[in-house]
Structure formats: C-alpha cells, structure tokens
Amino acid sequence: MMTTFKVKSLMNNRALALLAGLVIGSVTLYVPNVNAASIYKVVDEQTGQVTFTDQPQNYEQQTGKQIVETNVSTGNDSSHSASTSSQNNNSSQSNNSTKSAIPVITAPAPINYQLVMTEPSEERAYQRPGQIITVSLQMSPALQTGDSISIYIDGQLISQGITASIATINLNPGEHTIQATIQNSRGQVVNQITRTVYVIQNTAILQNKKRVAQQLQAYQLLPWHQKLRLKMRQNNNASK
C-alpha cells in the first residue's frame, strides 16, 4: 500500500514539473518584443552598393538612393539577434561581392603634347613651279593610341604624320596657310600650330616658257618646205 502511494506521488510530481515547463515556455514565446525596429535596405542606383540600416531618415535626403523596408527587425532575444546577425553577415558578403563585381574605370590623364614646326621655320616665299614646300614637325611625347597628327594647307588635308611635301605647281601665286593639328581619340584638337607661306611665279621660267611657245607657234605657221629646210639644218648642226 505504501509503495503504491509513493509511485502515485512521483507521477504527480513529474506531471506538475512538465506542466510548469510548458507554461514557462509559452510565456517566453509570447513575451512582446518591445524594442523591435525595422531594418531598411538602401541601394545606390549608380554603384549598386547595398546598405542595411534601422535609420532610413539618414538616406532620405540623398539623391539616387532606393530605400526598401525588409522583413528583418531588431530585438533582444538571442535567437532573433543571431538570425539578424547572420542576415547582416550575408548582406555584408553580398555587398562586398557587389563591390568587387563592379569594375573601377579610371579616366586616363590628358596628354600635354608639345608641337613645333621646324620647316618652314618662319614665313617665307617659294618660287612656282620649281620649288617644293617641305613641312617638318617635332612633337613630344609620342602619340598615344587613338591620337593622330595631321598637316593641312589652306584647310585641305595633305598628310597624316610629321612630314609633308607640297608642290608649288599645284598652288596659285599668293598667300597660303600651313596648319598642323593633334587630335585625341575623341576627335578633339588638343594642340595645333600654323605657318604662313607665299608662292610667287618664277619670272625667268615663265618668260622662257612663253618664248618656247611663241617659237613653236611660228614653226607651225611655216610652209612645209621651210620646215624641211629647218629640220635639215638642225641635223647638220647636230652631226658637227
């Protein structure tokens, strides 16, 4: 009889302990999270950088920011804090991954080219048609990839490089402008130099050409027997 009473007493004590545990667990689960606060995700539209914060008002006045409320909130219980910490770590890793995935493009510094026209070194005159105008340039530093140098006369492109030769026979007598320009890869002129030259007609050559033309015209007007006589005379002079 005594043994039966002890067994029942132990069973009652165990049941009371289990009931107390359930009640305490239920109370713990339903304790309100008074200090909970929402977490916001802030995305920079230009760089794609992601930031998590519980103070979105710090970003509301900044342009190019997208602010989105998440399902994450802050609290005092350890399990929620651990979950939030894990999500923040994942977000930090994702943020670092986003940063590393975005290439950083650094604009090249503009090149300060120095350009000198060594020939013609100053204003000068050239006789037409015998003389040739030689253009020679010196520059530093060397041209970068995509940049170019061109030589013009009276606005007409004649060469792409640092040298050019211009036949005066193709130019009218008078004033002419030689120009050299350096353009970058975007087609912008970054440096240029100009020189004025003058083309004059060689009077001696012109007069000689006129005299030869007049003699040829007079020969064409001669009768055939006079032409034959002149040709025989030239042959005799050549044989002596």
What are 101-129's pLDDT values in tens digits? 666 666 567 788 999 999 998 888 898 88
Q: 3-class SS at 41?
A: strand
Please give the mean pLDDT across all residues of the chain: 76
Q: Which residues pair with 67 in a beta bridge?
A: 42
pLDDT for position 34: 46
Any domain includes 187: yes
Q: Look at residue 64 and tell me whether its pLDDT is greater than 80.
A: yes
Of 205, 149, 135, give the one whose Cα is nearest residue 173: 205
Look at residue 150 and tell me whether its pLDDT is greater than 80: yes
Regarding whether 91 and 39 lie in a shared domain, the answer is yes
Q: Residue 68: inside a domain, yes or no?
A: yes
Structural domain contains residue 226: no
Same domain, 124 and 194: yes
Verify that 132 and 191 share a domain, yes or no. yes
Q: Is residue 5 part of a domain?
A: no
- Residue numbers of the domain that contains 198: 114-202
Count of beta carbons in the 10 Å neighbourhood of residue 59? 16
pLDDT score for 153: 95
3, two tokens: 């043994």
| Exposed / middle / buried, residue 150 (Cβ in 10 Å: 0-12, 13-18, 19+) | middle
Q: What is the DSSP string of 135-196?
A: EEEEEESPPPTT-EEEEEETTEEEESSSEEEEEGGGS-SEEEEEEEEEE-TTS-EEEEEEEE
Q: What is the pLDDT of residue 203?
A: 67
Domain boundary among 47, 78, 103: 103
pLDDT value of residue 67: 86
Which residue from 128, 136, 134, 131 is spatially nearest to 174, judged by alpha carbons?
128
**Last residue of one domain, picked from the residues 103, 129, 144:** 103
Q: Is the pLDDT of residue 23 over 80?
A: no
Same domain, 83 and 121: no
Q: Which residue has the higher pLDDT, 96 or 124?
A: 124
Identify whether residues 56 and 89 lie together within a single domain: yes
What strand order describes the sheet that includes 148-153?
124-128, 189-201, 174-183, 148-153, 156-159
Residue 128 inside a domain? The answer is yes
Name the domain boundary from 103, 134, 158: 103
Taking the CA atoms of 13, 14, 19 and 21 in sequence, report the sign of the dihedral they define.
Answer: positive
The residue among 76 and 216 whose pLDDT is bigger is 216
Q: Are 120 and 196 in contact (CB under 8 A)?
A: no
Does residue 15 fall inside a structural domain?
no
Q: Are residues 91 and 119 in the same domain?
A: no
Both 128 and 79 in one domain: the answer is: no
Whether 124 maps to a domain, the answer reads yes
Q: Are residues 158 and 179 in the same domain?
A: yes
DSSP class of residue 54?
Answer: S
Q: How many domains does the chain have?
A: 2
